[in-house]
Amino acid sequence: MPLALLNIDVDDFRQINNRWGYRAGDRVLADLCQACASQLRPQDLFGRIGDEEFAILLVGMAGDEAMGIAEAIRTEVAHLHGVFSHSDYQPCISGGLTCLTADDQAFLDLFSRADQALFLAKGNGRNQIASILAT
């Protein structure tokens, strides 16, 4: 069965907490969760894996279809305003996408590739989804 993993991270999250406080940061995380939930299906799994980092397991999905969901989430987050409607700040996310392969021995193989792709997205300027789709 196809399986995709998307790791996402809120770009410049520390700036939010430093500039507007932790309540504003919490609001961004809550808004991000709502944006993700609006794009996911009941069989998908979504969870927080770090301060501002989340993982989404897309069950039965791979390749272009998974990238479509990832881009839809990124676009929706980029249109969030929440507590920042009167400022110049626009929340953005970076994401790393990968899909399960026959060579994967453990979930860590999948997770490591998604994390590598996330670092690639951040290194390439943020506010984008990068993928490592091994065969």
Average pLDDT over residues 65-74: 97
How many domains, the chain?
Answer: 1
- List, for residues 8-54, the tens digit of each pLDDT value: 999 999 988 998 899 989 989 999 999 999 999 999 999 999 999 99
CA dihedral 81, 29, 131, 122 (to 10 degrees): 80
Question: What is this structure's pTM?
Answer: 0.93
CATH number of domain containing 111: 3.30.70.270
What integer pLDDT is reported at residue 96 of this predicted model? 98
Strands (E) across the chain are located at 3-10, 45-48, 53-59, 93-99, 129-131
Check if 52 is active-site.
yes
Instruction: Please pick, among 52, 53, 65, 71, the residue that the annotation labels catalytic.
Output: 52
Q: Domain range for residue 10?
A: 3-131
pLDDT tens per residue, range 93-135? 999 999 999 999 999 999 999 999 999 999 999 999 999 987 5
pLDDT in tens, 74-98: 999 998 876 666 677 788 999 999 9
